[in-house]
């Protein structure tokens, strides 16, 4: 897989996760627009179709071409439905592990993040009164980084989608 395939997988995945579904149906023009907007890749519709075909053959997703008949009998083509398969979610897990390994170099120990701050201890409390469970004096003023909740929520959404795709495959 090359960088365009990775960008296509991420684009289709982000559109599907936006609506919390294991499928999506963006138009080809919209996919090209998103690739240019978020990845800086400007490609033709023919190139897009070629790469979508290779990803479909790799069983990353299944494409279902949608059409209907008009009142006059003509065939009207709708956007293609992209059903994300189990291999898509495995690939996304692989990307997450790679990103975690890369960012591990820049991490510092949890205690080092708060070296500059000192815990706020109130002088009004006596030794007879034990601190409450939520008291910042007991926890040393440490709180989890705010982004960890967002990461956990996204991981939970991915796990739920993986379960639904696993049941259907």
Q: What is the CATH number of the domain that holds 10?
A: 1.10.10.10
Position 45 scores a pLDDT of 95
Query: In terms of pTM, does the model score above 0.75?
Result: no
Place of tokens 């709708």: 78
Place of tokens 């490609």: 43
- The alpha carbon of residue 146 and the mean position of all alpha carbons in its chain are separated, in whole angstroms, by 18
Q: Is residue 162 part of a domain?
A: yes
pLDDT-based confidence at 152, cuts 50/70/90? confident
pLDDT-based confidence at 101, cuts 50/70/90? confident
- Which residues form the domain of 12? 3-105+148-168
Looking at residues 111-116, what average pLDDT do you find?
59
Closest CA to 83 of 18, 169, 1: 169
C-alpha 122/C-alpha 132 separation (Å) is: 13
Q: Is residue 114 part of a domain?
A: no
Looking at residues 136-151, what average pLDDT do you find?
53
Position 158 scores a pLDDT of 76
Q: Select, from the ranges 91-95, 136-140, 160-164, the one with the highest average predicted confidence (pLDDT).
A: 91-95
Q: Check if the beta carbon of residue 7 is closer than 8 Å to that of residue 39.
A: yes
Q: Is residue 101 part of a domain?
A: yes
The enclosing H or E element of 93 equals helix 86-104
Q: Is residue 69 part of a domain?
A: yes
Number of domains, the chain: 1
| CB-based burial label for 71 (10 Å; 0-12, 13-18, 19+) | exposed
Q: Is residue 115 part of a domain?
A: no
Q: Is residue 35 part of a domain?
A: yes
Give the number of other CB atoms < 10 A from CB of residue 157.
12
């Amino acid at each position: 897989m090359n960088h365009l395939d990775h960008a296509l997988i991420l684009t289709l995945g982000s559109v599907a996760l936006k609506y919390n579904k294991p499928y999506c149906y963006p138009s080809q023009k919209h996919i090209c627009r998103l690739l240019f907007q978020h990845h800086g890749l400007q490609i033709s519709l023919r190139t897009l179709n070629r790469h979508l075909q290779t990803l479909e053959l790799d069983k990353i997703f299944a494409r279902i071409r949608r059409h209907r008949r008009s009142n006059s009998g003509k065939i009207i083509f709708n956007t293609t439905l992209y059903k994300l398969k189990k291999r898509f979610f495995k690939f996304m897990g692989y990307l997450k592990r790679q990103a975690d390994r890369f960012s591990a170099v820049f991490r510092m120990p949890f205690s080092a993040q708060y070296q500059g701050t000192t815990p706020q201890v109130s002088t009004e409390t006596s030794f007879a009164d034990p601190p409450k469970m939520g008291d910042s004096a007991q926890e040393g003023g440490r709180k989890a980084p705010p982004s960890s909740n967002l990461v956990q929520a996204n991981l939970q959404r991915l796990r739920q989608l993986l379960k639904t795709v696993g049941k259907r495959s």
